[in-house]
Chain A
Protein backbone atom coordinates (compact mmCIF):
# COMPACT_ATOMS: atom_id res chain seq x y z
CA UNK A 1 0.00 0.00 0.00
CA UNK A 2 1.28 3.40 -0.93
CA UNK A 3 -0.02 6.34 0.99
CA UNK A 4 0.13 9.75 -0.63
CA UNK A 5 -0.85 12.71 1.50
CA UNK A 6 -2.83 15.56 0.10
CA UNK A 7 0.04 18.02 0.26
CA UNK A 8 2.43 15.75 -1.55
CA UNK A 9 -0.17 14.49 -4.01
CA UNK A 10 0.32 17.21 -6.58
CA UNK A 11 4.00 16.41 -6.91
CA UNK A 12 3.78 12.69 -6.38
CA UNK A 13 0.96 12.07 -8.81
CA UNK A 14 2.17 14.31 -11.59
CA UNK A 15 2.47 11.78 -14.36
CA UNK A 16 3.62 12.13 -17.91
CA UNK A 17 0.82 13.82 -19.86
CA UNK A 18 0.12 10.78 -22.02
CA UNK A 19 -0.48 8.64 -18.95
CA UNK A 20 -3.26 10.87 -17.68
CA UNK A 21 -6.74 10.30 -19.06
CA UNK A 22 -8.62 12.89 -17.04
CA UNK A 23 -7.22 15.99 -15.38
CA UNK A 24 -9.23 17.90 -12.80
CA UNK A 25 -7.93 21.43 -12.32
CA UNK A 26 -9.17 23.70 -9.56
CA UNK A 27 -12.72 22.43 -9.63
CA UNK A 28 -15.08 24.11 -7.17
CA UNK A 29 -18.82 23.76 -6.93
CA UNK A 30 -21.29 25.94 -5.09
CA UNK A 31 -24.95 25.03 -4.75
CA UNK A 32 -26.37 28.48 -3.99
CA UNK A 33 -24.93 28.90 -0.47
CA UNK A 34 -23.55 25.40 0.07
CA UNK A 35 -19.96 24.73 -0.93
CA UNK A 36 -19.87 21.18 -2.24
CA UNK A 37 -16.33 21.04 -3.65
CA UNK A 38 -13.33 23.30 -3.03
CA UNK A 39 -10.38 23.60 -5.42
CA UNK A 40 -9.98 19.96 -6.41
CA UNK A 41 -6.81 19.08 -8.35
CA UNK A 42 -6.60 15.50 -9.44
CA UNK A 43 -5.17 13.29 -12.18
CA UNK A 44 -6.73 10.04 -13.23
CA UNK A 45 -4.15 7.64 -14.65
CA UNK A 46 -4.98 6.01 -17.98
CA UNK A 47 -6.10 2.40 -17.98
CA UNK A 48 -6.51 2.29 -14.21
CA UNK A 49 -9.49 2.11 -11.92
CA UNK A 50 -9.59 5.09 -9.58
CA UNK A 51 -12.14 5.27 -6.81
CA UNK A 52 -13.59 8.40 -5.26
CA UNK A 53 -14.38 7.53 -1.66
CA UNK A 54 -15.72 9.66 1.13
CA UNK A 55 -18.41 10.25 3.71
CA UNK A 56 -21.91 10.88 2.37
CA UNK A 57 -22.38 14.44 1.20
CA UNK A 58 -18.68 14.94 0.45
CA UNK A 59 -19.42 15.75 -3.18
CA UNK A 60 -17.97 12.63 -4.77
CA UNK A 61 -20.97 12.12 -7.05
CA UNK A 62 -20.95 15.85 -7.81
CA UNK A 63 -17.32 15.61 -8.88
CA UNK A 64 -18.10 12.60 -11.07
CA UNK A 65 -21.02 14.38 -12.71
CA UNK A 66 -18.84 17.45 -13.32
CA UNK A 67 -16.29 15.19 -15.03
CA UNK A 68 -19.14 13.69 -17.07
CA UNK A 69 -20.29 17.17 -18.07
CA UNK A 70 -23.74 16.58 -16.60
CA UNK A 71 -23.47 19.49 -14.16
CA UNK A 72 -21.38 22.62 -14.63
CA UNK A 73 -18.57 23.49 -12.22
CA UNK A 74 -18.53 26.89 -10.51
CA UNK A 75 -14.79 27.24 -11.16
CA UNK A 76 -11.98 25.21 -12.69
CA UNK A 77 -11.73 22.98 -15.71
CA UNK A 78 -11.77 19.34 -16.74
CA UNK A 79 -9.39 18.02 -19.38
CA UNK A 80 -9.96 14.67 -21.04
CA UNK A 81 -7.04 13.40 -23.12
CA UNK A 82 -5.54 16.88 -22.80
CA UNK A 83 -8.60 18.72 -24.17
CA UNK A 84 -10.80 20.94 -22.05
CA UNK A 85 -14.39 19.66 -22.00
CA UNK A 86 -17.54 21.51 -20.98
CA UNK A 87 -20.34 19.04 -21.68
CA UNK A 88 -20.83 15.31 -22.24
CA UNK A 89 -18.60 13.87 -24.96
CA UNK A 90 -18.04 10.62 -26.85
CA UNK A 91 -14.80 9.89 -24.95
CA UNK A 92 -16.72 9.46 -21.68
CA UNK A 93 -19.60 7.13 -20.77
CA UNK A 94 -21.64 7.14 -17.59
CA UNK A 95 -23.08 4.28 -15.55
CA UNK A 96 -25.94 5.43 -13.34
CA UNK A 97 -26.63 4.55 -9.74
CA UNK A 98 -30.32 3.87 -10.51
CA UNK A 99 -29.41 2.13 -13.82
CA UNK A 100 -31.40 4.66 -15.92
CA UNK A 101 -32.75 1.97 -18.25
CA UNK A 102 -35.71 2.70 -20.47
CA UNK A 103 -38.49 0.46 -19.10
CA UNK A 104 -40.22 0.34 -22.49
CA UNK A 105 -37.15 -0.94 -24.33
CA UNK A 106 -35.60 -4.40 -24.45
CA UNK A 107 -32.11 -5.17 -23.14
CA UNK A 108 -30.88 -5.05 -26.73
CA UNK A 109 -32.29 -1.59 -27.40
CA UNK A 110 -31.10 -0.26 -24.05
CA UNK A 111 -27.54 -1.46 -24.66
CA UNK A 112 -27.54 -0.09 -28.20
CA UNK A 113 -29.12 3.22 -27.15
CA UNK A 114 -25.89 5.23 -27.12
CA UNK A 115 -25.21 4.07 -30.68
CA UNK A 116 -28.81 4.71 -31.71
CA UNK A 117 -28.39 8.34 -30.59
CA UNK A 118 -25.30 8.62 -32.78
CA UNK A 119 -27.42 7.59 -35.75
CA UNK A 120 -25.76 4.21 -36.34
CA UNK A 121 -27.74 1.72 -38.46
CA UNK A 122 -29.83 -0.93 -36.76
CA UNK A 123 -27.87 -4.03 -37.76
CA UNK A 124 -24.50 -2.48 -37.03
CA UNK A 125 -25.43 -1.24 -33.57
CA UNK A 126 -27.15 -4.50 -32.64
CA UNK A 127 -24.04 -6.45 -33.58
CA UNK A 128 -21.93 -4.25 -31.31
CA UNK A 129 -24.52 -4.40 -28.52
CA UNK A 130 -24.68 -8.20 -28.77
CA UNK A 131 -20.93 -8.39 -28.20
CA UNK A 132 -21.12 -6.38 -24.99
CA UNK A 133 -24.27 -8.14 -23.80
CA UNK A 134 -22.23 -11.34 -24.02
CA UNK A 135 -19.29 -9.70 -22.28
CA UNK A 136 -21.32 -8.73 -19.22
CA UNK A 137 -22.88 -12.20 -19.17
CA UNK A 138 -26.42 -11.43 -20.32
CA UNK A 139 -26.56 -13.61 -23.45
CA UNK A 140 -30.08 -14.97 -23.82
CA UNK A 141 -31.67 -11.92 -22.19
CA UNK A 142 -31.55 -9.66 -25.29
CA UNK A 143 -35.31 -9.44 -25.71
CA UNK A 144 -36.18 -9.15 -22.02
CA UNK A 145 -37.42 -5.90 -20.51
CA UNK A 146 -35.67 -4.29 -17.51
CA UNK A 147 -38.45 -5.15 -15.05
CA UNK A 148 -37.89 -8.82 -15.85
CA UNK A 149 -34.27 -8.61 -14.64
CA UNK A 150 -32.74 -8.54 -11.15
CA UNK A 151 -30.98 -5.42 -9.88
CA UNK A 152 -27.57 -6.88 -10.66
CA UNK A 153 -28.59 -7.80 -14.18
CA UNK A 154 -30.04 -4.33 -14.77
CA UNK A 155 -26.75 -2.74 -13.82
CA UNK A 156 -24.97 -5.14 -16.18
CA UNK A 157 -27.19 -3.69 -18.92
CA UNK A 158 -26.11 -0.19 -17.82
CA UNK A 159 -22.48 -1.26 -17.97
CA UNK A 160 -22.85 -2.88 -21.39
CA UNK A 161 -24.48 0.33 -22.69
CA UNK A 162 -21.48 2.34 -21.48
CA UNK A 163 -19.03 -0.13 -23.05
CA UNK A 164 -20.91 -0.17 -26.36
CA UNK A 165 -20.14 3.48 -27.20
CA UNK A 166 -16.43 2.65 -26.92
CA UNK A 167 -15.49 5.59 -24.69
CA UNK A 168 -11.98 5.86 -23.23
CA UNK A 169 -13.23 6.79 -19.80
CA UNK A 170 -16.01 5.05 -17.91
CA UNK A 171 -17.64 6.93 -15.07
CA UNK A 172 -19.48 4.74 -12.57
CA UNK A 173 -21.69 6.42 -9.99
CA UNK A 174 -22.18 4.01 -7.07
CA UNK A 175 -23.06 1.31 -9.59
CA UNK A 176 -23.59 -1.41 -7.00
CA UNK A 177 -25.50 0.50 -4.35
CA UNK A 178 -28.87 -0.71 -5.64
CA UNK A 179 -27.61 -4.29 -6.08
CA UNK A 180 -27.95 -6.87 -3.30
CA UNK A 181 -24.83 -7.99 -1.44
CA UNK A 182 -24.30 -11.39 -3.08
CA UNK A 183 -24.82 -10.12 -6.60
CA UNK A 184 -22.56 -7.21 -5.77
CA UNK A 185 -19.60 -9.48 -4.92
CA UNK A 186 -20.01 -11.46 -8.12
CA UNK A 187 -20.39 -8.25 -10.08
CA UNK A 188 -17.24 -6.74 -8.54
CA UNK A 189 -15.26 -9.80 -9.59
CA UNK A 190 -16.66 -9.57 -13.11
CA UNK A 191 -15.91 -5.86 -13.21
CA UNK A 192 -12.26 -6.51 -12.41
CA UNK A 193 -11.93 -8.94 -15.29
CA UNK A 194 -13.65 -6.41 -17.57
CA UNK A 195 -11.23 -3.69 -16.44
CA UNK A 196 -8.40 -6.07 -17.32
CA UNK A 197 -9.93 -6.89 -20.70
CA UNK A 198 -11.19 -3.50 -21.88
CA UNK A 199 -8.10 -1.42 -21.06
CA UNK A 200 -10.16 1.63 -20.27
CA UNK A 201 -9.91 4.28 -17.59
CA UNK A 202 -12.48 3.74 -14.87
CA UNK A 203 -13.58 6.38 -12.37
CA UNK A 204 -15.69 4.83 -9.72
CA UNK A 205 -17.69 6.45 -6.92
CA UNK A 206 -18.56 4.37 -3.90
CA UNK A 207 -19.17 4.68 -0.20
CA UNK A 208 -18.07 1.11 0.51
CA UNK A 209 -14.48 0.92 1.76
CA UNK A 210 -14.21 -2.81 1.01
CA UNK A 211 -15.47 -2.27 -2.51
CA UNK A 212 -12.98 0.55 -3.06
CA UNK A 213 -10.01 -1.45 -1.81
CA UNK A 214 -11.06 -4.59 -3.63
CA UNK A 215 -11.56 -2.95 -7.03
CA UNK A 216 -9.22 0.02 -7.23
CA UNK A 217 -5.71 0.75 -8.39
CA UNK A 218 -5.97 4.09 -6.63
CA UNK A 219 -8.33 5.45 -4.01
CA UNK A 220 -8.97 9.17 -3.63
CA UNK A 221 -10.47 9.98 -0.25
CA UNK A 222 -12.47 13.18 -0.04
CA UNK A 223 -13.10 15.03 3.19
CA UNK A 224 -16.50 16.11 4.39
CA UNK A 225 -18.17 19.16 2.83
CA UNK A 226 -16.67 21.19 1.38
CA UNK A 227 -15.11 18.25 -0.41
CA UNK A 228 -11.32 18.36 -0.64
CA UNK A 229 -8.77 15.64 -1.23
CA UNK A 230 -7.86 14.19 2.16
CA UNK A 231 -5.70 11.29 1.09
CA UNK A 232 -4.71 9.22 -1.93
CA UNK A 233 -4.03 5.55 -1.39
CA UNK A 234 -2.76 2.96 -3.83
CA UNK A 235 -3.60 -0.47 -2.48
CA UNK A 236 -0.85 -2.77 -3.71
CA UNK A 237 -2.78 -5.98 -3.90
CA UNK A 238 -1.89 -8.89 -6.10
CA UNK A 239 -4.85 -9.07 -8.46
CA UNK A 240 -3.67 -12.30 -9.98
CA UNK A 241 -4.84 -14.05 -6.82
CA UNK A 242 -8.33 -15.48 -6.66
CA UNK A 243 -11.07 -13.13 -5.44
CA UNK A 244 -11.43 -15.11 -2.24
CA UNK A 245 -7.70 -14.98 -1.57
CA UNK A 246 -7.74 -11.20 -2.04
CA UNK A 247 -10.53 -10.82 0.49
CA UNK A 248 -8.43 -12.72 3.05
CA UNK A 249 -5.16 -11.01 2.12
CA UNK A 250 -3.46 -9.19 5.02
CA UNK A 251 -2.58 -6.08 3.02
CA UNK A 252 -6.22 -5.88 1.80
CA UNK A 253 -7.48 -6.01 5.36
CA UNK A 254 -4.87 -3.49 6.56
CA UNK A 255 -5.81 -1.03 3.82
CA UNK A 256 -9.51 -1.30 4.69
CA UNK A 257 -8.66 -0.68 8.33
CA UNK A 258 -6.40 2.28 7.56
CA UNK A 259 -9.06 3.96 5.42
CA UNK A 260 -11.69 3.35 8.08
CA UNK A 261 -9.47 4.95 10.73
CA UNK A 262 -9.09 7.99 8.47
CA UNK A 263 -12.79 8.27 7.65
CA UNK A 264 -14.09 7.58 11.14
CA UNK A 265 -13.77 11.18 12.24
CA UNK A 266 -16.20 12.29 9.51
CA UNK A 267 -18.94 9.94 10.69
CA UNK A 268 -21.39 11.43 13.14
Chain B
Protein backbone atom coordinates (compact mmCIF):
# COMPACT_ATOMS: atom_id res chain seq x y z
CA UNK B 1 0.00 0.00 0.00
CA UNK B 2 2.90 2.30 0.46
CA UNK B 3 4.02 2.01 -3.13
CA UNK B 4 1.32 4.22 -4.68
CA UNK B 5 2.19 6.86 -2.11
CA UNK B 6 5.77 6.77 -3.26
CA UNK B 7 4.63 7.01 -6.82
CA UNK B 8 2.96 10.33 -6.04
CA UNK B 9 6.43 11.53 -5.43
CA UNK B 10 6.08 13.56 -2.25
CA UNK B 11 8.64 11.64 -0.14
CA UNK B 12 11.10 11.56 -2.97
CA UNK B 13 10.58 15.13 -3.99
CA UNK B 14 11.87 16.42 -0.66
CA UNK B 15 15.59 15.60 -0.99
CA UNK B 16 15.60 16.85 -4.58
CA UNK B 17 14.22 20.25 -3.57
CA UNK B 18 16.80 20.39 -0.81
CA UNK B 19 19.53 19.70 -3.33
CA UNK B 20 18.20 22.33 -5.69
CA UNK B 21 18.09 24.80 -2.81
CA UNK B 22 21.75 24.11 -2.13
CA UNK B 23 22.51 24.44 -5.82
CA UNK B 24 20.70 27.77 -5.98
CA UNK B 25 22.66 29.02 -2.95
CA UNK B 26 25.87 28.00 -4.69
CA UNK B 27 25.01 29.58 -7.99
CA UNK B 28 24.17 32.85 -6.26
CA UNK B 29 27.80 33.10 -5.28
CA UNK B 30 29.07 31.54 -8.48
CA UNK B 31 31.25 34.43 -9.62
CA UNK B 32 32.85 34.67 -6.17
CA UNK B 33 33.46 30.90 -6.21
CA UNK B 34 35.06 30.98 -9.64
CA UNK B 35 37.27 33.87 -8.63
CA UNK B 36 38.46 32.08 -5.52
CA UNK B 37 39.04 28.90 -7.52
CA UNK B 38 41.02 30.83 -10.13
CA UNK B 39 43.26 32.43 -7.51
CA UNK B 40 43.64 29.09 -5.70
CA UNK B 41 44.66 27.40 -8.93
CA UNK B 42 47.23 30.12 -9.60
CA UNK B 43 48.79 29.63 -6.13
CA UNK B 44 48.84 25.87 -6.66
CA UNK B 45 50.69 26.18 -9.97
CA UNK B 46 53.07 28.64 -8.30
CA UNK B 47 53.73 26.18 -5.45
CA UNK B 48 54.38 23.34 -7.92
CA UNK B 49 56.62 25.51 -10.09
CA UNK B 50 58.57 26.58 -7.00
CA UNK B 51 59.07 22.96 -5.93
CA UNK B 52 60.24 21.73 -9.35
CA UNK B 53 62.21 24.21 -9.08
CA UNK B 54 62.24 26.42 -12.15
CA UNK B 55 65.17 28.42 -10.82
CA UNK B 56 66.93 28.66 -7.48
CA UNK B 57 65.80 32.29 -7.41
CA UNK B 58 62.12 31.30 -7.65
CA UNK B 59 60.59 30.68 -4.20
CA UNK B 60 57.51 28.52 -3.61
CA UNK B 61 54.17 30.07 -2.76
CA UNK B 62 54.33 28.95 0.86
CA UNK B 63 57.81 30.40 1.38
CA UNK B 64 56.63 33.67 -0.09
CA UNK B 65 53.53 33.65 2.10
CA UNK B 66 55.67 33.07 5.19
CA UNK B 67 57.99 35.95 4.22
CA UNK B 68 54.94 38.14 3.50
CA UNK B 69 53.41 37.55 6.93
CA UNK B 70 56.81 38.09 8.58
CA UNK B 71 57.29 41.44 6.87
CA UNK B 72 53.70 42.40 7.60
CA UNK B 73 54.14 41.88 11.34
CA UNK B 74 57.73 43.07 11.82
CA UNK B 75 56.89 46.51 10.46
CA UNK B 76 58.93 46.28 7.25
CA UNK B 77 55.88 46.87 5.05
CA UNK B 78 54.57 49.70 7.21
CA UNK B 79 57.85 51.58 6.99
CA UNK B 80 58.21 50.90 3.26
CA UNK B 81 54.69 52.00 2.34
CA UNK B 82 54.99 55.13 4.47
CA UNK B 83 57.74 56.14 2.04
CA UNK B 84 56.30 54.79 -1.20
CA UNK B 85 52.84 56.27 -0.73
CA UNK B 86 54.14 59.85 -0.34
CA UNK B 87 55.04 60.52 -3.99
CA UNK B 88 52.17 58.30 -5.11
CA UNK B 89 49.46 60.13 -3.18
CA UNK B 90 50.80 63.60 -4.00
CA UNK B 91 51.32 62.69 -7.67
CA UNK B 92 47.89 61.09 -8.08
CA UNK B 93 46.15 63.99 -6.32
CA UNK B 94 47.82 66.52 -8.64
CA UNK B 95 47.19 64.34 -11.72
CA UNK B 96 43.53 63.84 -10.83
CA UNK B 97 42.79 67.53 -10.30
CA UNK B 98 44.84 68.82 -13.24
CA UNK B 99 44.00 65.89 -15.54
CA UNK B 100 40.23 66.01 -15.05
CA UNK B 101 40.24 69.81 -15.28
CA UNK B 102 42.38 69.97 -18.43
CA UNK B 103 40.45 67.04 -19.93
CA UNK B 104 37.11 68.77 -19.46
CA UNK B 105 38.42 72.05 -20.89
CA UNK B 106 39.88 70.21 -23.91
CA UNK B 107 36.57 68.44 -24.44
CA UNK B 108 34.62 71.70 -24.34
CA UNK B 109 36.90 73.94 -26.37
CA UNK B 110 38.33 73.18 -29.80
CA UNK B 111 41.09 75.72 -29.17
CA UNK B 112 42.24 74.04 -25.95
CA UNK B 113 42.08 70.69 -27.73
CA UNK B 114 44.28 71.98 -30.53
CA UNK B 115 46.71 73.53 -28.05
CA UNK B 116 47.05 70.81 -25.42
CA UNK B 117 45.83 67.44 -26.68
CA UNK B 118 48.89 66.64 -28.88
CA UNK B 119 51.18 67.03 -25.84
CA UNK B 120 49.22 64.43 -23.90
CA UNK B 121 48.94 62.08 -26.87
CA UNK B 122 52.74 62.14 -27.29
CA UNK B 123 53.27 61.75 -23.53
CA UNK B 124 50.93 58.77 -23.44
CA UNK B 125 52.71 57.09 -26.34
CA UNK B 126 56.23 57.78 -25.01
CA UNK B 127 58.03 55.05 -23.02
CA UNK B 128 58.19 56.84 -19.69
CA UNK B 129 60.87 54.60 -18.20
CA UNK B 130 63.30 56.14 -20.66
CA UNK B 131 62.50 59.64 -19.42
CA UNK B 132 62.97 58.90 -15.72
CA UNK B 133 66.80 59.23 -15.82
CA UNK B 134 66.21 62.65 -17.39
CA UNK B 135 64.10 63.72 -14.42
CA UNK B 136 66.99 62.81 -12.14
CA UNK B 137 69.29 65.19 -13.96
CA UNK B 138 66.87 68.08 -13.56
CA UNK B 139 65.12 67.43 -10.26
CA UNK B 140 67.58 65.26 -8.37
CA UNK B 141 66.71 62.10 -6.48
CA UNK B 142 64.25 63.36 -3.86
CA UNK B 143 60.51 63.32 -3.39
CA UNK B 144 60.01 65.89 -6.18
CA UNK B 145 61.58 63.65 -8.84
CA UNK B 146 59.50 60.65 -7.75
CA UNK B 147 56.29 62.66 -7.64
CA UNK B 148 57.07 63.89 -11.15
CA UNK B 149 57.51 60.31 -12.34
CA UNK B 150 54.05 59.46 -10.99
CA UNK B 151 52.51 62.54 -12.64
CA UNK B 152 54.16 61.83 -15.99
CA UNK B 153 52.60 58.40 -16.09
CA UNK B 154 49.21 59.18 -14.57
CA UNK B 155 48.35 62.59 -15.99
CA UNK B 156 48.11 61.85 -19.76
CA UNK B 157 45.66 58.97 -19.42
CA UNK B 158 43.46 60.90 -16.97
CA UNK B 159 43.42 64.01 -19.17
CA UNK B 160 42.79 62.12 -22.41
CA UNK B 161 39.94 60.10 -20.90
CA UNK B 162 38.32 63.24 -19.53
CA UNK B 163 38.66 64.90 -22.92
CA UNK B 164 37.15 61.99 -24.83
CA UNK B 165 34.34 61.59 -22.29
CA UNK B 166 33.33 65.24 -22.55
CA UNK B 167 33.71 65.37 -26.32
CA UNK B 168 31.45 62.32 -26.68
CA UNK B 169 28.77 63.48 -24.25
CA UNK B 170 25.36 62.37 -25.52
CA UNK B 171 24.37 65.05 -28.09
CA UNK B 172 20.70 64.25 -27.61
CA UNK B 173 20.89 65.10 -23.88
CA UNK B 174 22.80 68.28 -24.68
CA UNK B 175 20.14 69.42 -27.15
CA UNK B 176 17.45 68.47 -24.62
CA UNK B 177 19.07 70.81 -22.11
CA UNK B 178 19.34 73.55 -24.74
CA UNK B 179 15.70 73.09 -25.78
CA UNK B 180 14.63 73.66 -22.17
CA UNK B 181 16.66 76.89 -22.23
CA UNK B 182 19.51 75.60 -20.09
CA UNK B 183 22.44 78.02 -20.02
CA UNK B 184 25.88 76.90 -21.22
CA UNK B 185 26.98 76.55 -17.59
CA UNK B 186 23.90 74.46 -16.72
CA UNK B 187 24.49 72.26 -19.77
CA UNK B 188 28.06 71.61 -18.64
CA UNK B 189 27.37 70.99 -14.95
CA UNK B 190 24.02 69.21 -15.18
CA UNK B 191 24.42 67.20 -18.39
CA UNK B 192 27.93 67.00 -19.86
CA UNK B 193 29.94 66.27 -16.70
CA UNK B 194 27.47 63.74 -15.19
CA UNK B 195 27.23 62.04 -18.58
CA UNK B 196 31.03 61.95 -18.87
CA UNK B 197 31.70 60.85 -15.30
CA UNK B 198 31.87 57.05 -15.92
CA UNK B 199 34.60 57.53 -18.54
CA UNK B 200 36.34 60.17 -16.41
CA UNK B 201 36.38 57.64 -13.58
CA UNK B 202 37.71 54.94 -15.90
CA UNK B 203 40.52 57.39 -16.67
CA UNK B 204 41.16 57.91 -12.94
CA UNK B 205 41.40 54.15 -12.43
CA UNK B 206 43.83 53.81 -15.33
CA UNK B 207 45.74 56.84 -14.01
CA UNK B 208 46.02 55.28 -10.56
CA UNK B 209 47.31 52.03 -12.07
CA UNK B 210 49.84 54.02 -14.11
CA UNK B 211 50.78 55.94 -10.95
CA UNK B 212 51.72 52.68 -9.22
CA UNK B 213 53.93 51.80 -12.19
CA UNK B 214 55.45 55.28 -11.99
CA UNK B 215 56.28 55.15 -8.30
CA UNK B 216 57.84 51.68 -8.53
CA UNK B 217 59.87 52.66 -11.59
CA UNK B 218 61.07 55.74 -9.74
CA UNK B 219 62.04 53.72 -6.67
CA UNK B 220 63.88 51.16 -8.77
CA UNK B 221 65.55 53.60 -11.16
CA UNK B 222 66.15 56.78 -9.16
CA UNK B 223 66.99 55.82 -5.57
CA UNK B 224 65.83 52.70 -3.78
CA UNK B 225 63.35 53.79 -1.13
CA UNK B 226 60.20 52.23 0.29
CA UNK B 227 58.93 49.18 -1.50
CA UNK B 228 61.49 49.60 -4.29
CA UNK B 229 64.18 49.42 -1.64
CA UNK B 230 62.68 46.20 -0.20
CA UNK B 231 62.74 44.61 -3.66
CA UNK B 232 66.27 45.78 -4.52
CA UNK B 233 67.74 44.96 -1.11
CA UNK B 234 66.29 41.46 -0.84
CA UNK B 235 67.35 40.68 -4.39
CA UNK B 236 70.93 41.78 -3.68
CA UNK B 237 71.18 39.56 -0.59
CA UNK B 238 69.38 36.67 -2.34
CA UNK B 239 66.36 36.66 0.02
CA UNK B 240 64.10 35.66 -2.79
CA UNK B 241 60.96 34.88 -0.74
CA UNK B 242 61.14 38.38 0.78
CA UNK B 243 61.70 39.95 -2.61
CA UNK B 244 58.66 38.16 -4.04
CA UNK B 245 56.60 39.07 -0.98
CA UNK B 246 57.39 42.73 -1.60
CA UNK B 247 56.35 42.41 -5.24
CA UNK B 248 53.13 40.62 -4.27
CA UNK B 249 52.39 43.29 -1.67
CA UNK B 250 52.49 46.09 -4.24
CA UNK B 251 50.24 44.12 -6.60
CA UNK B 252 47.84 43.56 -3.71
CA UNK B 253 47.85 47.21 -2.64
CA UNK B 254 47.25 48.49 -6.17
CA UNK B 255 44.45 45.98 -6.85
CA UNK B 256 42.69 46.80 -3.59
CA UNK B 257 43.02 50.55 -4.18
CA UNK B 258 41.53 50.23 -7.68
CA UNK B 259 38.66 48.09 -6.39
CA UNK B 260 37.99 50.65 -3.65
CA UNK B 261 37.90 53.45 -6.23
CA UNK B 262 35.43 51.50 -8.35
CA UNK B 263 33.22 50.78 -5.33
CA UNK B 264 33.31 54.47 -4.41
CA UNK B 265 32.28 55.45 -7.92
CA UNK B 266 29.31 53.07 -7.94
CA UNK B 267 28.20 54.18 -4.51
CA UNK B 268 28.51 57.91 -4.91
CA UNK B 269 28.20 58.79 -8.57
CA UNK B 270 25.96 56.26 -10.28
CA UNK B 271 22.87 55.80 -8.11
CA UNK B 272 21.02 54.06 -10.95
CA UNK B 273 23.63 51.27 -11.11
CA UNK B 274 23.25 50.31 -7.47
CA UNK B 275 19.90 48.65 -7.79
CA UNK B 276 20.67 46.41 -10.73
Chain A residues packing against B (C-beta within 8 Å): 68-70, 88-90, 92-94, 96, 98, 100, 102-104, 113-114, 116-118, 145-148, 161, 165
Task: Name the CB-closest residue of A to B171.
Answer: A100
Which residues of B have CB within 8 Å of A70?
A: 175, 178-179
**Candidates A96, A102, A147; contact of B191 at CB < 8 Å:** A102
Given contacts A103-B272, A104-B194, contact A88 B181 (CB under 8 A): yes
B181-A89 in contact (CB<8A): yes
A113-B180 in contact (CB<8A): yes
Task: Name the CB-closest residue of B to A117.
Answer: B182
Asked if B66 lies at the interface with its beta carbon under 8 angstroms from chain A, I say no
A100-B173 in contact (CB<8A): yes
A94 to B271, CA, bound (A): 27
Which residues of B have CB within 8 Å of A145?
A: 271-272, 275
User: Total interface residues on B, using CB and 8 Å?
Assistant: 23
A106 to B177, CA, bound (A): 16
**Candidates A94, A102, A165; contact of B173 at CB < 8 Å:** A102
Name 29 A/B residue pairs within 8 A (Cβ), A-sorted.
A68-B179, A69-B179, A88-B178, A88-B180, A88-B181, A89-B181, A92-B179, A94-B176, A94-B179, A94-B180, A96-B172, A96-B175, A96-B176, A98-B172, A100-B170, A100-B172, A100-B176, A104-B194, A104-B269, A104-B270, A114-B180, A116-B190, A117-B177, A117-B180, A117-B186, A117-B190, A118-B181, A145-B275, A147-B276
Main secondary structure of the interface of B (DSSP, over half): helix
A114 to B179, CA, bound (A): 9
**Candidates A88, A116, A147; contact of B179 at CB < 8 Å:** A88
- In the assembled complex, how far is the CB of residue A37 from the closest CB belonging to chain B, in whole angstroms? 19
A90-B172 in contact (CB<8A): no
- In the assembled complex, how far is the CB of residue A91 from the closest CB belonging to chain B, in whole angstroms? 11
Which residues of B have CB within 8 Å of A96?
A: 172, 175-176
6 A-B pairs besides A94-B176, A117-B181 with CB distance below 8 A are: A68-B179, A70-B179, A100-B172, A113-B180, A116-B190, A145-B275
Could you tell me which residues of chain B, from 46 to 68, have a CB within 8 Å of some CB in chain A? none
Could you tell me which residues of chain B, from 225 to 270, have a CB within 8 Å of some CB in chain A? 269-270
**Candidates A90, A103, A104; contact of B181 at CB < 8 Å:** A90
- In the assembled complex, how far is the CB of residue B261 from the closest CB belonging to chain A, in whole angstroms? 18
A161 to B272, CA, bound (A): 19
- In the assembled complex, how far is the CB of residue B188 from the closest CB belonging to chain A, in whole angstroms? 13
A144 to B96, CA, bound (A): 32
- In the assembled complex, how far is the CB of residue A135 from the closest CB belonging to chain B, in whole angstroms? 19
Which residues of A have CB within 8 Å of B275?
A: 145, 148
A243 to B273, CA, bound (A): 39
Task: Name the CB-closest residue of B to A119.
Answer: B186
Task: Name the CB-closest residue of B to A116.
Answer: B190
A146 to B269, CA, bound (A): 16
Question: Which of A68, A96, A117 neighbours the largest number of chain B CB atoms within 10 Å of its CB?
Answer: A117
Which residues of B have CB within 8 Å of A69?
A: 179
Which residues of A have CB within 8 Å of B183?
A: 117
A69 to B179, CA, bound (A): 8
B175-A100 in contact (CB<8A): yes
A102 to B270, CA, bound (A): 12
Given contacts A94-B176, A147-B272, contact A102 B182 (CB under 8 A): no
Which residues of B have CB within 8 Å of A103?
A: 272
Which residues of B have CB within 8 Å of A118?
A: 181
Which residues of B have CB within 8 Å of A148?
A: 275
- In the assembled complex, how far is the CB of residue A175 from the closest CB belonging to chain B, in whole angstroms? 13
Task: Name the CB-closest residue of A to B178.
Answer: A88
A255 to B272, CA, bound (A): 45
- In the assembled complex, how far is the CB of residue B275 from the closest CB belonging to chain A, in whole angstroms? 7
- In the assembled complex, how far is the CB of residue A78 from the closest CB belonging to chain B, in whole angstroms? 14
Interface mask (B141-185 → A, CB under 8 Å = 1, otherwise 0): 000000000000000000000000000001011011111111100
Which residues of B have CB within 8 Å of A147?
A: 272, 276
A113 to B276, CA, bound (A): 24
Could you tell me which residues of chain B, from 74 to 90, have a CB within 8 Å of some CB in chain A? none
Which residues of A have CB within 8 Å of B195?
A: 102, 104
Task: Name the CB-closest residue of B to A71.
Answer: B175
Which residues of B have CB within 8 Å of A93?
A: 179-180
A51 to B102, CA, bound (A): 46
Given contacts A117-B186, A145-B272, contact A102 B194 (CB under 8 A): yes
Which residues of A have CB within 8 Å of B190?
A: 116-117
Which residues of B have CB within 8 Å of A98?
A: 172
Task: Name the CB-closest residue of B to A89.
Answer: B181
Task: Name the CB-closest residue of B to A118.
Answer: B181
A69 to B175, CA, bound (A): 10
A255 to B194, CA, bound (A): 47
